[in-house]
Amino acid sequence: MKSFGKFIDLLAVLVFVEVITRSSGYLSTLITPYFTNIDPDKAFIWSWVHHIIQLLLALSAMMLYPGIRMRDWGYNFDNSRLSLQIFMKFSLGWLIFYGIGTFITLKMSGNTSVYPFPLTTRNVVGYSGFMFIMPGLSEETLFRGFVMVVLGQSWKGILNIGKLTIPVSGLLAALIFTYAHISYTIFPLKFYFNTGQLIAAFGLGIFYAIVFYKTKSLLGSVLCHNISDGIGFIIVWLLGMFMLA
């Protein structure tokens, strides 16, 4: 499909992401009350439903978008060996980095109850299952697949920072990804966000964009995204239990 110019493409993508993310959340809120027998503590079903709807909407947009095949959106196994190598190195590095950082943070704050639901077996299994499966599938499809590919038609520049090569479309996708982690109300106009989460979203968003750019496949970024979220939950859960023991 022909690009309409840098800023019209960017505006269209911003509107699309806003509609997809907010409507997914709204539909999830309507649907999840029917699953209270599965998730009485409201710990994980909303997140599952929200990300499944978001994934389906993003995939539908990809399939309806003229002139771009699914493999060009990143749904392929090209450079799979490189993707798996990046995934293995990232997993080890993230485990060490996040483990040490979380231990220091929890030790300094003295707060081991960081989740708004009881950590029962049902909730831990349901939420960890979500974290290891859905964030990467849903969010990488939308933010690295759809957003980067659409913006890449007009935002073709490359940033070279040391040994890093960052496509401008990837930088913009990371900024939009970070924005998506901000909640707000219109009446009254209020914004809700966690500064640490926004910093992490931007940094990881840049990394996922580089992986997608290098491999031309969503495989690596999906795996890295899922393992970063999954490890994050497991580490906080285990350290919380350890410190309470």
β partners of residue 190: 185
Q: What was the pLDDT predicted at 187? A: 85
Show the low-confidence residues of the chain (pLDDT under 70): 1-2, 112-113, 244-245
CA distances from 232 to 107, 114, 137, 200, 218 (A): 16, 12, 17, 12, 21
Q: What was the pLDDT predicted at 61? A: 96
Question: What digits encode the pLDDT tens for the residues 31-82?
Answer: 999 999 999 999 999 999 999 999 999 999 999 999 999 999 999 999 999 9
For the chain, domain boundaries: 6-244
In order, the DSSP letters of 133-150 are HHHIIIIIIIIIIIIHHH
Alpha helices in the chain, H assignment, sequence order: 6-31, 45-64, 80-109, 121-135, 148-152, 168-179, 195-215, 219-244
Three-state DSSP class for residue 234:
helix
Q: What was the pLDDT predicted at 7? A: 92
